[in-house]
Structure 1
Amino acid sequence: MAEIPQFHKEIANAFEAAKNIPKDELLFLYNGVLFPTATCNIDTFKALETFETRDDDIMMAAYPKCGSNWSVMLLHSMVHAVHNKQPCALIPIIEFKSPDKFEKLKADTSPRLLATHFYYDQIPKTFFEKKVKILVMFRNPKDTAVSMFHFYNNNPMLPTYNSFDDFFPDFMSGKVVWGSYFDHAIAWNKHLDEDTVLLMTFEDMKEDLEGSIKKISEFFSLPLTEEQVKIIADKGTFKSMKENSKITHGEMGKVIFRKGDVGDWKNYFSEAQSQEMDAKFEACLAGTKLGEVLKYNIYCEW
């Protein structure tokens, strides 16, 4: 893990930059979607339009707080087990700005591990032209909302909210970073039957981590032995990652890894908010493949 200190430096620099950004300028709007000023900029978005992908790139896509950091850490472990490849020093999220980002990615050996919080239509077309395989992570929207609320309030790069009641309307209307959860869900739902897309849920990974690791490794053609699967699963529990987050993610560790629970939403939602979310889910995802996989009636019943 010799490259990790550079990763920490990028995080520390972003935290420091946020201190000098007026609170009303912590977010900026691009194509109708909010992004954090400290970690993203339009120049990087435009540079991505000509980013050269490889057909063996390993891609993870997730709406924020749906298990993206967890799945990326697992993927790092799988790639290391098969290819003995250490993580790249760069933060893997492609839309994050970073000095010499694209030169470093161009020099990185295959397979490269990349990630994004963009939804389908925002991802550079080259990923689809090269048929890059994409792991798509989702989580039930109620727990996602609660997790994002805490992410805002614990992250110096984002504005803060006085209460979940204040945050909830912004989440429901998509006035949060990377936009609407439901816009993401609707966009990805159209492509779940493509052989280059694997859908996994936060809840399924919590329920059967070893089985999830096997499924992901097979999808990306990363052959693992039973022993390797068990080792990766033991080190890859949310509890273990949270305990090691200071080492792996520096100051960002305490921001990213909070509870990792299923059902924590019941400690925050009012009955009215629960009913509003139920109605939104029904309107957007009822009868869809993604709606079925999310097991909404199991994890989101009041």
Structure 2
Amino acid sequence: MTLDKMEKLSLEQTVSRSALVELEGVVLIEPVHRTFDQVQKFKARPDDLLIATYAKAGTTWTQEIVDMIQQNGDVEKCRRDTTCKRHPFLEWSFQNPPSARYSGLELAEAMPSPRTIKTHLPVQLVPPSFWEQNCKVIYVARNAKDNLVSYYHFHRMNKGMPEPGTWDEFVEKFMNGKVLWGSWYDHVKGWWKAKDKHHILYLFYEDMKENPKQEIQKIVKFLDKDINEEVLNKIVYNTSFEIMKENPMANYTKDFEGIMDHSISPFMRKGAVGDWKNYFTVAQNEKFDEDYKKKMADTSLVFRMEL
């Protein structure tokens, strides 16, 4: 057996998928749950920017856009480190294997201001200091069906996530909110409601795909930045899916080695709108639509399932 194979084998033995734990009705994985009290006590600073999303809703994309704006379109500066080191993933904590050890909390606490921080927490679990300091938040929401498909593939390739089970099983878990970070429905609705009383820019993944320039301009304005047309076009180009997919500082090929297996499914897979049609059966789609209608009846929030 080659050394490579032995290393791979020993990693497979040491990285066991995390157990799920419920906290206030929200599903978390055990390592995140373990450090949650510390996360709650996190001290936000007034100039912190929080990027919040449900997992696989365009988080890395938004992080890259924000960084490009902050660095005035300087591509080299945006490649100073990987995404999760530039923008600490607040609640994410992982000790094993040591090569993939990560504590977003420690990273954030050690970082000089101004900080950009990422979270997948539903609004009610966000550390209170963010509201106390009146921090700016950018929230991105993606339609439920595409979000589900992307999340399923992410579970398949990421050993830090719970076992997804079959596609059928995962659809059921997603509909019932029994997946990591809880119910998609509660997540998008909770943040939608919160935007009326906090400093939140609420964006839609579908709008970003359809007209990236327009949505990037919204972010520029929200951040009180001023950039010229040339820099804006540069940001649009460098944050396109095709360019980011090849960028090792954004495509997660340099982080969480032994945890993410890009041969099963790349971290940046398709980035498309409407890909759900390749996965949902007619029966699944009908069942999902009926359930969706009930769960979204109490909100003014509207999503586009295709462009």
Q: TM-score range by the shorter chain?
A: 0.7 to 0.9
Q: 1:188 maps to which residue?
A: 191
Moved more, 185-194 or 142-151: 185-194
How far 1:237 sits from its partner (Å)?
A: 0.6
Asked if 2 retains the 8 angstrom alpha-carbon contact of 1:146 and 1:265, the reply is: yes
Compared CA separation, residues 19 and 220, structure 1 to 2 (3 A): farther
Could you give the per-residue CA deviations for residues 180-232 of structure 1, whole angstroms, max 9, x where no partner exists?
10111221221233451111111111111111111011112222221111111
Residue 72 (structure 2) pairs with residue 81 (structure 1): yes
Could you give the per-residue CA deviations for residues 239-273 of structure 1, whole angstroms, max 9, x where no partner exists?
21112147652255944211111101011111222
Q: 1:93 maps to which residue?
A: 89
Q: 1:165 maps to which residue?
A: 168
Q: 1:10 maps to which residue?
A: none
Q: 1:215 maps to which residue?
A: 218
Residue 295 (structure 2) pairs with residue 295 (structure 1): no
Q: 2:149 maps to which residue?
A: 146
Moved more, 173-182 or 150-159: 150-159
Tell me the amino acid that sits aligned with residue 89 of structure 1.
Answer: K
How far 1:100 sits from its partner (Å)?
A: 6.9
What is the percent sequence identity of the aligned residues? 32
Asked if 1 retains the 8 angstrom alpha-carbon contact of 2:148 and 2:171, the reply is: yes
Asked if 1 retains the 8 angstrom alpha-carbon contact of 2:192 and 2:301, the reply is: yes
How far 1:66 sits from its partner (Å)?
A: 0.7
Q: Which whole-Å CA distance do the structure 2 matches of 1:73 and 1:217 have between them?
A: 13
Match of 1:134 among 123, 134, 137: 137
**Structure 1: unaligned runs, 5 residues or longer:** 1-15
Match of 2:33 among 33, 42, 65: 42
Q: Which whole-Å CA distance do the structure 2 matches of 1:287 and 1:26 have between them?
A: 32
Q: 2:22 maps to which residue?
A: 29
How far 1:74 sits from its partner (Å)?
A: 1.3
Residue 91 (structure 2) pairs with residue 61 (structure 1): no
Could you give the per-residue CA deviations for residues 90-109 of structure 1, whole angstroms, max 9, x where no partner exists?
65211012667545433422
Moved more, 84-93 or 59-68: 84-93
Q: 1:109 maps to which residue?
A: 112
Tell me the amino acid that sits aligned with residue 270 of structure 2.
Answer: K
Q: 2:233 maps to which residue?
A: 230
Asked if 2 retains the 8 angstrom alpha-carbon contact of 1:94 and 1:116, the reply is: yes
Tell me the amino acid that sits aligned with residue 267 of structure 2.
Answer: I
Q: Which whole-Å CA distance do the structure 2 matches of 1:276 and 1:129 have between them?
A: 41
Paired residues, what number? Answer: 278
Q: Secondary structure at the match of 1:118?
A: coil
Q: 1:263 maps to which residue?
A: 274
Q: 1:20 maps to which residue?
A: 14
Tell me the amino acid that sits aligned with residue 76 of structure 1.
Answer: D
The structure richer in helix per residue is 1
Compared CA separation, residues 18 and 72, structure 1 to 2 (3 A): farther
Compared CA separation, residues 177 and 153, structure 1 to 2 (3 A): same
Q: Secondary structure at the match of 1:115?
A: strand
Q: Which whole-Å CA distance do the structure 1 matches of 2:37 and 2:280 have between them?
A: 38
How far 1:55 sits from its partner (Å)?
A: 1.3
Q: Which whole-Å CA distance do the structure 2 matches of 1:19 and 1:32 have between them?
A: 31
Asked if 1 retains the 8 angstrom alpha-carbon contact of 2:195 and 2:201, the reply is: yes
**Structure 2: unaligned runs, 5 residues or longer:** 1-9, 94-100
Q: Which whole-Å CA distance do the structure 2 matches of 1:253 and 1:220 have between them?
A: 35
Q: Secondary structure at the match of 1:189?
A: helix
Q: Secondary structure at the match of 2:35?
A: helix
How far 1:141 sits from its partner (Å)?
A: 0.2
How far 1:89 sits from its partner (Å)?
A: 2.9
Q: Secondary structure at the match of 2:202?
A: strand
Asked if 2 retains the 8 angstrom alpha-carbon contact of 1:56 and 1:111, the reply is: yes
Q: Which whole-Å CA distance do the structure 1 matches of 2:221 and 2:20 have between them?
A: 38
Asked if 1 retains the 8 angstrom alpha-carbon contact of 2:51 and 2:59, the reply is: yes
Tell me the amino acid that sits aligned with residue 42 of structure 1.
Answer: H
